[in-house]
Amino acid sequence: MATAEIKIGQVDDVQELHRTGLDTVPDRYIRDGDDRPGCGNVSDLAHIPVIDFGELPRCDELIKLRLACEEWGFFQVVNHGIEEELLDEMENLSREFFMLPLEEKEKYPMAPGGIQGYGHAFVFSEDQKLDWCNMLALGVEPSFIRQPKLWPTTPARFKETLEKYSMEIRSLCQRLLAHIAETLALSPGTFADMFGECVQAVRMNFYPPCPRPELVLGLSSHSDGSAVTVLQQDMSCAGLQVLKDGAWVTVHPIPHALVVNLGDSLEVLTNGRYKSVEHRAVTNAERDRLSVVTFYAPAYDVELGPLPEFVSDEVPCRYRRFKHGEYSRHYVTSRLEGKKTLDFAKINQATTMAAPEETTCSCCT
């Protein structure tokens, strides 16, 4: 979709809205009944699994990891080896950025329909409901996706810290993918060999306090278009929720743990054995919340489709073959709406969404 065609109407900056001290929220943030945080089952008691990275690849921890991937698609990682000071610094600098005056942040504007810079991603029309969230999104690797003009120069240490942070998170993603491959009885290098020069992007999400948290969402429900996602959240309050067996399960922050979730690429490659799981963020009346989220995905020219190991008479091929770049384009030009984006790859839906020659599955070509 060309930028010029996109009319998104008035999109307020939610921190500025919050600053006005309003006691209600504009209509564009008010969700329909069944999309409100209190609707349906919300479980504060269940917990997503916790994986001790220091114990991997010991057999019982690998089994825990397999169950976490199979049953949840989400887990928290402790003992991940990334220095706590670096995590703290990244969080503090991100927070400092969001606290800057609007004019300063607007030096790094996200274009309508764009995905990098400061603003609101995934807004494509005037009638779309908005999320109670400000974002700063940046492409990190490979270098051709970087837009250096959008990397904040204030706070001063932001750039170098993000650089260092991204290297550490990249290494964690590589180790994670090796262990995830092991849980699938694949050789540890399977994904690294296949993914080429991986695409890494970071998004800082800032959720100011909201006067009517029961009516709005901080971030609409979605699955991630990555292979794996690593999310760092501050300790101020919980806000991330994961859909498990029809109930929204709150992810309670653990100090210096990282939340990992499986993205759409892994669902396709494993033919649905592992699933990318729907999640969303809710807001809070008193407290703001910050998350720093890294998306790690195959190179754009990598062709994805179910690996033959996961296709059988009992489990027929469910996803077609496509280049990750095609999927990524589809993902960033669609609004966040549960797992709808993955219809792009599903074999029974693919015929209506893509050229017929692309509907073959990887195991029969």
Binding site for Ni ion (CB under 5 A): 224
Q: From 135, 289, 134, select the one nearest 209 (Cα to Cα).
A: 289
Q: From 334, 146, 304, select the one nearest 227 (Cα to Cα).
A: 304
Interaction between residue 345 and ligand OGA (CB under 6 A): no
Q: For residues 279 and 320, which CB has a smaller minimum distance to ligand OGA in the complex?
A: 279
Cα 362 to Cα 316: distance, rounded to the nearest angstrom: 12
Question: Rounded to the nearest 10 degrees, how much is the dihedral formed by the CA atoms of 172, 178, 179, 184?
Answer: 150
The DSSP call for residue 319 is B
Give the orientation angle of helix 158-183 with respect to helix 59-71, to 10 degrees.
100
Interaction between residue 205 and ligand OGA (CB under 6 A): yes
Interaction between residue 279 and ligand OGA (CB under 6 A): yes
Residue reference for tokens 């999640």: 279
Q: Report how many residues bind ligand OGA under the rule CB under 6 A.
A: 11
Q: Out of 250, 291, 294, 328, point to the residue binding ligand OGA (CB under 6 A).
A: 291
Query: Hey, which residues between 219 and 248 contact ligand OGA (CB under 6 A)?
Result: 219, 224, 233, 239-240
* Minimum distance, C-beta of residue 281 to ligand OGA, in the bound complex (Å): 4
* Minimum distance, C-beta of residue 222 to Ni ion, in the bound complex (Å): 6
Q: From 45, 33, 338, 20, select the one nearest 214 (Cα to Cα).
A: 33
Q: Out of 293, 302, 332, 345, point to the residue binding ligand OGA (CB under 6 A).
A: 293
Q: For residues 270 and 291, which CB has a smaller minimum distance to ligand OGA in the complex?
A: 291
Q: Out of 180, 281, 304, 311, point to the residue binding ligand OGA (CB under 6 A).
A: 281
The angle at the Cα of 54, spanning 64 to 166, to the nearest 5 degrees, equals: 105
120 binds, among Ni ion, ligand OGA, none (CB under 5 to 8 A by kind): none
68 binds, among Ni ion, ligand OGA, none (CB under 5 to 8 A by kind): none
**Cα separations in angstroms, 69 against 36, 249, 265, 365:** 27, 16, 14, 28
240 binds, among ligand OGA, Ni ion, none (CB under 5 to 8 A by kind): ligand OGA
* Minimum distance, C-beta of residue 137 to ligand OGA, in the bound complex (Å): 9
